[in-house]
Chains A and B, each alone.
Chain A
């Protein structure tokens, strides 16, 4: 019997008032907190008689430690961090300065180098970083600045209030702790807190759960393109010295994907012989049997990749989704009591494959708006709506406007996509029309009946990888290296609206793709003779790496990811 996580009803919840709550301690959330602290410090220095306090400004981070759930390639464009901390190079953890870059088109046995690196992928002046380490560093500064970061606490619900129809976001409810598998209180039960705050900033990362609730409730995506996503699967490897230079950046496209799928790989040389490599597969592929973790394993078999990794050791594994929709998919950014920043809003430049600098900048702009709200005492849409306008007049808009149609251009495959992308380069992002449409990724998923039984050209990417345990790995082995741990005795946090759909329909129509798009073996169809098709959906929630692929890619859209008990999740040390 699957019991799903739901905040307990009819219990008294402790209250704690707050001025500003930032939900999510990633790049955007921490940048926001730090900027807010800077503004308050400056203000207080000039206003000895009316001081603003940082006492009631909180960052809620669901991981046990700051940075633990942060995963990215990553390449950092230093533009925004330089604005936030002008001499950040002196103290920030940087793995390497980009020294060399190459873009390859792969076929099964060979690689063709692009004679000229496409402008969006030119990384001169950028840094190879570990997002986990970078955010840890930012977090230390935030704490040193006097802003409390609550680790191990998730935002599980938004609290609404105000006018008759609850148009205002009043606060955040944190997760109930000590609830058992059957949603009953354990002896160490601690109810989630109701944190009422003037300003709530959602910085939950890609496909944020509170963000999803908010967008749904207030239809913040009206007139927008639906958001689309890619799934990144990453491994950190330790390789013999000399294989790759620190700061060497490689992008690939093509094999093992066909022209029908969108995606590609990255390989970044870090320090101490550490290589970050990963494959991003857009979650809009047609064949439900495609398994993004398998795609990465397949990719590693390419001669040039296996030569790079030979004799090395896989050190860590992880996966995360990322928003590809770009400018036209950004929801409304600020309203009565709330703002949305970072990947939760979708500030990612899909052409450059970079979003950290935009997340940081969006966090900074939100901080400036929040600061105005604190000063004026007004945090209604009148004040917080200014955030939207600030973003539109900032370099975030300049940058994202130029690539506003990039990802959508690939809807009909790789070659048309490249053509459009090339055209967009010369037309300031316009291409053939100002706004290219998009459709949610899951709508592209075809039923098994419409696909070749053997999978056709995509055959090597279908289903779970077996792995050879040296270069390639099966999902469970990879998962072990993600350091994922959760309190075992808690309700399932992957809320499936109707498991009958899984057992009766999906298994026949799509072949239960949850087993494939989940990089962590959370979903399994197990034998059950009482079910019409002999199988039933079973969950291993404690394997979850919080990537949100299921929430995104499920063709029936009946899966809702909610945060499990705070403190649980992957451990992306060094990622």
Chain B
């Protein structure tokens, strides 16, 4: 799961203009909330245990606490502000290092993050672990040989895929209503195991980002508004001309 700046937070660039100033409010990445919801539903159906993992500074712990309050059983926090600057490949690498020795059957991620929007971490993790994967999943069913998932394709098309376990799935947003954490859940979360992993422990797994944000900026749009005048009929003709030759939709 990832902690990202709140959707409406006013963002400011830092001094070197290659990242944002972190004095904003944060929240859980919404697609990851759907991944968690699906995991909790699978646990309710088939039993088992749900673990949640995140990387980031101390503030990211909030995401784990909320997940534990909703019903996750344990959490892993790769705690260090240095984790924020890692690209998708390095992030997947440290996750893989942190979960070495674990015996997960399924790993869920949201389909992308609301801040970077790369949509890569889950797929990269699958490759690093050597596991099969599928993306943009709407539904998961247990089968004799593993699982059957429903993949969303563009333009209203879908596809079922049979896969063995263990596997990595990126979950489509909006497939379920997100549950609320209850007061009891919040109280119980305090006593659930939260393992902290320091940067030093997973450092060997990373070797520098393979891509670099040169600069971050507010996209400038220079709009020259052209007012179309004339009678209704004339304006209609002018509009169609624009639609055909400028917007290229006719």
Stretch at the interface among B160-168, B181-189, B193-201: B181-189
- Given A178-B180, A190-B179, A150-B186 contact (CB < 8 Å): yes
Is A573 on the interface with B (CB-CB < 8 A)? yes
Is A483 on the interface with B (CB-CB < 8 A)? yes
Question: B194 → chain A, closest Cβ, in Å?
Answer: 15
- Given A483-B8, A573-B24, A186-B186 contact (CB < 8 Å): no
- Given A483-B8, A485-B8, A571-B25, A150-B183 contact (CB < 8 Å): yes
Question: A504 → chain B, closest Cβ, in Å?
Answer: 38
Is B42 on the interface with A (CB-CB < 8 A)? no
Which residue of B is nearest A56, CB measured? B187
A195: chain B residues at CB < 8 Å are 183
Could you tell me if B180 and A190 are in contact, using CB atoms closer than 8 angstroms? yes
- Given A14-B184, A148-B187, A193-B183, A188-B25 contact (CB < 8 Å): no
Could you tell me if A14 and B182 are in contact, using CB atoms closer than 8 angstroms? yes
A178: chain B residues at CB < 8 Å are 177, 180
Could you tell me if B182 and A571 are in contact, using CB atoms closer than 8 angstroms? no
Could you tell me if A190 and B25 are in contact, using CB atoms closer than 8 angstroms? no
Contact with B along A137-171 (1 / 0, CB 8 A): 00000000000101011000000000000000000
Residues 180 to 215 of chain A near chain B (Cβ within 8 Å): 186-188, 190, 193, 195
* Complex Cα gap A573–B6 (Å): 11
* Complex Cα gap A456–B164 (Å): 78
Residues 153 to 181 of chain B near chain A (Cβ within 8 Å): 177-181
- Given A148-B187, A571-B6, A571-B25, A190-B178 contact (CB < 8 Å): no
Which residue of B is nearest A481, CB measured? B10
Could you tell me if A190 and B182 are in contact, using CB atoms closer than 8 angstroms? yes
Question: B242 → chain A, closest Cβ, in Å?
Answer: 27
Which residue of B is nearest A60, CB measured? B183
A174: chain B residues at CB < 8 Å are 183
A177: chain B residues at CB < 8 Å are 180
Could you tell me if A188 and B184 are in contact, using CB atoms closer than 8 angstroms? no
- Given A315-B10, A483-B8, A571-B8, A16-B183 contact (CB < 8 Å): yes
Could you tell me if B183 and A153 are in contact, using CB atoms closer than 8 angstroms? yes
Could you tell me if A16 and B179 are in contact, using CB atoms closer than 8 angstroms? no
Question: A145 → chain B, closest Cβ, in Å?
Answer: 14
Q: Interface extent on A, as a size class?
A: 20 to 34
Interface size on B (CB < 8 Å)?
18
Could you tell me if A148 and B186 are in contact, using CB atoms closer than 8 angstroms? yes
Question: A83 → chain B, closest Cβ, in Å?
Answer: 30
Question: B137 → chain A, closest Cβ, in Å?
Answer: 20
Residues 1 to 30 of chain B near chain A (Cβ within 8 Å): 6, 8-10, 24-25, 27
B6: chain A residues at CB < 8 Å are 483, 571
Which residue of A is nearest B185, CB measured? A190
A-B contact count (CB 8 A): 44
Is A65 on the interface with B (CB-CB < 8 A)? yes
Question: B22 → chain A, closest Cβ, in Å?
Answer: 13
Residues 70 to 91 of chain B near chain A (Cβ within 8 Å): none
Which residue of A is nearest B6, CB measured? A571
Question: A46 → chain B, closest Cβ, in Å?
Answer: 27
B190: chain A residues at CB < 8 Å are 148
* Complex Cα gap A177–B187 (Å): 18
* Complex Cα gap A315–B9 (Å): 10
Which residue of B is nearest A191, CB measured? B182
* Complex Cα gap A178–B180 (Å): 8
B184: chain A residues at CB < 8 Å are 14, 16
Residues 356 to 373 of chain A near chain B (Cβ within 8 Å): none
B27: chain A residues at CB < 8 Å are 64
* Complex Cα gap A190–B69 (Å): 14
* Complex Cα gap A483–B9 (Å): 8
Could you tell me if A186 and B182 are in contact, using CB atoms closer than 8 angstroms? no
Question: A232 → chain B, closest Cβ, in Å?
Answer: 22
Q: Which of B8, B9, B177, B183 contacts A188 (CB 8 A)?
A: B177
* Complex Cα gap A564–B45 (Å): 32
Could you tell me if A188 and B179 are in contact, using CB atoms closer than 8 angstroms? yes
Q: Which of A188, A315, A483 contacts B180 (CB 8 A)?
A: A188
A186: chain B residues at CB < 8 Å are 177
Which residue of A is nearest B24, CB measured? A573
* Complex Cα gap A188–B8 (Å): 25
* Complex Cα gap A108–B31 (Å): 52
B9: chain A residues at CB < 8 Å are 483, 573
Which residue of A is nearest B25, CB measured? A573
Which residue of B is nearest A18, CB measured? B183
* Complex Cα gap A190–B178 (Å): 11
Which residue of A is nearest B177, CB measured? A188
- Given A65-B25, A573-B25, A187-B183 contact (CB < 8 Å): no
* Complex Cα gap A178–B177 (Å): 9
* Complex Cα gap A65–B25 (Å): 9
* Complex Cα gap A568–B56 (Å): 26
* Complex Cα gap A190–B185 (Å): 12
Residues 516 to 530 of chain A near chain B (Cβ within 8 Å): none
Question: A467 → chain B, closest Cβ, in Å?
Answer: 19
The residue among B6, B8, B183 with the most chain A CB atoms within 10 A of its own CB is B183
* Complex Cα gap A14–B8 (Å): 34
* Complex Cα gap A65–B182 (Å): 16
* Complex Cα gap A316–B187 (Å): 34
* Complex Cα gap A571–B26 (Å): 12
- Given A571-B25, A573-B24, A187-B177 contact (CB < 8 Å): yes
A573: chain B residues at CB < 8 Å are 9, 24-25
Question: B103 → chain A, closest Cβ, in Å?
Answer: 31
Question: B192 → chain A, closest Cβ, in Å?
Answer: 15
Which residue of A is nearest B62, CB measured? A65
Question: B5 → chain A, closest Cβ, in Å?
Answer: 11
* Complex Cα gap A187–B177 (Å): 7
B177: chain A residues at CB < 8 Å are 178, 186-188
A64: chain B residues at CB < 8 Å are 27
* Complex Cα gap A345–B179 (Å): 35
A150: chain B residues at CB < 8 Å are 183, 186
A485: chain B residues at CB < 8 Å are 8
23 intermolecular pairs with C-beta atoms under 8 Å apart: A14-B182, A14-B184, A16-B183, A64-B27, A65-B25, A68-B25, A148-B186, A148-B187, A174-B183, A177-B180, A178-B177, A178-B180, A186-B177, A187-B177, A193-B183, A195-B183, A483-B6, A483-B9, A571-B6, A571-B8, A571-B25, A573-B24, A573-B25
Residues of B within 8 A of A (CB): 6, 8-10, 24-25, 27, 177-184, 186-187, 190
Q: Which 4 A/B pairs are nearest by Cβ-Cβ distance?
A: A188-B177, A177-B180, A190-B180, A187-B177
Residues of A within 8 A of B (CB): 14, 16, 64-65, 68, 148, 150, 152-153, 174, 177-178, 186-188, 190, 193, 195, 315-316, 483, 485, 571, 573
Q: A148-B190, A186-B177, A195-B183 are in contact. List 6 more A-B contacts (CB 8 A).
A: A150-B183, A153-B183, A177-B180, A188-B180, A315-B10, A316-B10
